[in-house]
Amino acid sequence: MIDKVKQAYQLKKAQADLQRLMSSLSVFDQKGDNSIVITGDKKVTKIVINGVESKEIKDLINEAMKKMDTKLQKEMKSKEDEIRSLLGM
């Protein structure tokens, strides 16, 4: 039982470490007067269109990504439940 608790703790710690790593990475891309900066955890931190930074578009993209992540999590959860019932778990 203690081994399972240790494994769960190690898994949670590894997930937190991975999340920190992902948020610390970023990529910058530019084409003409347009540029974007995105972090490894799929958050737009800066978007410039025709040389003008747009907080509104940045927020719109981030909100849409958050909604998609929520939708994907729900789908994955339902598939996980299906698999568990097939395996008799």
Between residues 78 and 64, the one the model is more confident about? 64
What is the Cα 25 distance to its own chain's centre?
A: 12
Whether 13 and 5 have beta carbons less than 8 Å apart is answered as no
How far is Cα 53 from Cα 32, in angstroms, rounded to an integer? 14
In a domain, 82, yes or no: yes
In a domain, 19, yes or no: no
pLDDT in tens, 10-60: 888 888 888 888 888 999 999 999 999 999 888 999 999 999 999 999 999
Domain count, the chain: 1
> For the chain, how are helix, strand and coil distributed in percent, rounded to 5?
65, 20, 15
Q: Whose structure tokens read 């729900």?
A: 74
The predicted model scores a pTM of 0.68
Whether 26 and 45 have beta carbons less than 8 Å apart is answered as yes
Domain residues for the domain of 80 are 26-87
